[in-house]
Amino acid sequence: MPGQNLPVQEEWLRVLTKGMITIPKVWREELGLQEGNIIRAKKIANQIVIEPTGETVPYRIYSRAELERFLKDDRLSKKTAAKIDKKLRKLKQ
């Protein structure tokens, strides 16, 4: 914002795998950013501007162990699977 004397905070950040960076904790707290928040990023000439949007992600990322447990819990017993298979064969006839 040209012409305005805005306070400038500067930090050196390292770009990690897949371009990830960590926003310093103090900045996250000042901006009210929490895990799952959506931010908007803009590239303006040779600068990157990151803005909070106040929105959150409406989904959750599950671990491999959780996914495997869900699949195990959702698996039909052999007896139930056989009953369903039998009924499906009847419907096809």
For the stretch 62-88, pLDDT in tens is: 899 999 999 999 999 999 999 999 999
Q: Which position has the token pair 């310093």? A: 24
Identify the three-state secondary structure at position 37.
Answer: strand
| Domains contained in the chain, CATH given | 17-56 (2.10.260), 62-93 (no CATH)
For the stretch 36-45, pLDDT in tens is: 888 999 999 9
Global confidence as pTM: 0.51
Q: Which of 2, 44, 52 is nearest to 27 (CA)?
A: 52
CA terminus-to-terminus distance, the chain? 73
